């Protein structure tokens, strides 16, 4: 079974700080998605990356897919309380299964 | 409004009492799946379906059943629930994954979740 490891598992920072969340695997994924989940709700898609080395920006969020398509990162600039949530990465493996990371719980304090 | 609905949202039951969690989507999606979410373990797929009458096991299918008689509905059945099935359950739907230089998943639309407690 392929694994997607997310780090850190938990992060609590002050509003305005920058942060990076990582999603790593020893396996190659054909595509990778990032979702955000708020308490009491299901995950919501933020971005899908497909090409090795690809960088996508969503306002203050920057997503990068590793050159070898084994890892990805999510960087948030000037974090806001509204960024609080559980961030999940999910990769599509060679057996067309979507493999999920355990998530990074992010708290942004005002 | 495009959405995935699940019912019930909360359920407390006892060991061995059969239960069904319903899931319905109004987006005409072919692909539907069930996940359970446990602290520190992330989302684990229970079953998925690529189309009507086509279902397949995910990573943790033991103790669960599903059916896909209609495109929009994908109920999850626990024939004899046990305490280790206490969890937060999510139904999701999407267009079929596409194969273009490797599998690429479309956006997964999730329901609001069902919190199940088995005593």
DSSP code string of B79-109? SS--GGG-EEEEEEEESPPEESSSEEPPPPE
Cα–Cα distance for residue pair A84/B99, rounded to 1 Å:
34
Kindly indicate the confidence band of residue A94, based on its pLDDT and cuts at 50, 70 and 90.
confident
In Å, how far from its chain's centre is CA A10?
13
Cα–Cα distance for residue pair B23/A14, rounded to 1 Å:
39
Q: Is A3 on the interface with B (CB under 8 A)?
A: no
Q: Among A3, A13, A1, A6, which Cα is nearest to A34's?
A: A6
What single DSSP character describes residue B26? S
Q: Are B57 and B45 in contact (CB under 8 A)?
A: no
Cα–Cα distance for residue pair B33/B24, rounded to 1 Å:
11
Residues of B in contact with A90 (CB under 8 A): 43, 105, 108
Residue B95 has pLDDT above 90, yes or no: no
Kind and range of the H or E element at A96? none
Summarize pLDDT for B22-81 with one digit per residue, the tens. Answer: 999 999 999 999 999 998 888 999 999 999 999 999 989 999 999 999 999 999 999 999
Quick check: helix, strand or coil at residue B115?
A: strand
Q: Are B65 and B75 in contact (CB under 8 A)?
A: no
- Terminal alpha carbon distance of chain A: 40
CB neighbour list of residue B106: distance below 8 Å, 6 or more residues apart: B31, B94, B95, B96, B97, B98
Q: Are B66 and B75 in contact (CB under 8 A)?
A: yes
The alpha carbon of residue A94 is apart from the nearest alpha carbon of chain B, in Å, by: 7
pLDDT at B73: 98
Candidates A31, A45, A102; nearest CB to B104: A31
Chain B residue with minimum CA distance to A98? B105
Candidates A42, A93, A97; nearest CB to B112: A42
Residue B86 has pLDDT above 90, yes or no: yes
Summarize pLDDT for A6-50 with one digit per residue, the tens. Answer: 999 999 999 999 999 999 999 888 889 999 999 889 999 999 998
Name the average pLDDT for chain A: 93
Residue B100 has pLDDT above 80, yes or no: no
pLDDT at B104: 73
pLDDT at B102: 59
Residues of B in contact with A41 (CB under 8 A): 110, 112-113
């Amino acid at each position: 079974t392929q694994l997607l490891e997310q780090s850190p598992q938990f992060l609590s920072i002050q509003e305005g700080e920058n942060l990076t969340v990582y999603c790593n695997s020893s396996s190659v994924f054909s595509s990778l998605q990032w979702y955000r989940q708020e308490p009491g709700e299901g995950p919501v898609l933020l971005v899908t990356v497909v090409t090795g080395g690809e960088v996508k920006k969503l306002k203050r969020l920057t997503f990068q897919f590793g050159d070898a398509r084994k890892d990805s990162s999510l960087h948030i600039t000037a974090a806001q309380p509204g960024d609080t949530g559980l961030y999940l990465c999910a990769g599509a493996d060679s057996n067309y299964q979507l493999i999920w990371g355990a998530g990074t719980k992010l708290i942004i304090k005002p | 409004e495009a959405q995935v609905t699940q019912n019930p949202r909360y359920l407390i039951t006892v060991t061995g009492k059969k239960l069904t969690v319903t899931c319905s989507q109004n987006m005409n999606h072919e692909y539907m799946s069930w996940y359970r979410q446990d602290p520190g373990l992330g989302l684990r797929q229970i079953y998925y379906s690529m189309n009507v009458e086509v279902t397949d096991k995910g990573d943790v299918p033991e103790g669960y059943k599903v059916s896909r008689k209609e495109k929009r509905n994908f109920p999850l059945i626990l024939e004899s629930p046990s305490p280790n099935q206490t969890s937060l359950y999510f139904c999701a739907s999407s267009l079929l994954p596409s194969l273009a230089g490797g599998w690429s998943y479309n956006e997964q639309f999730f329901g609001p979740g069902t919190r199940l407690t088995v005593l």
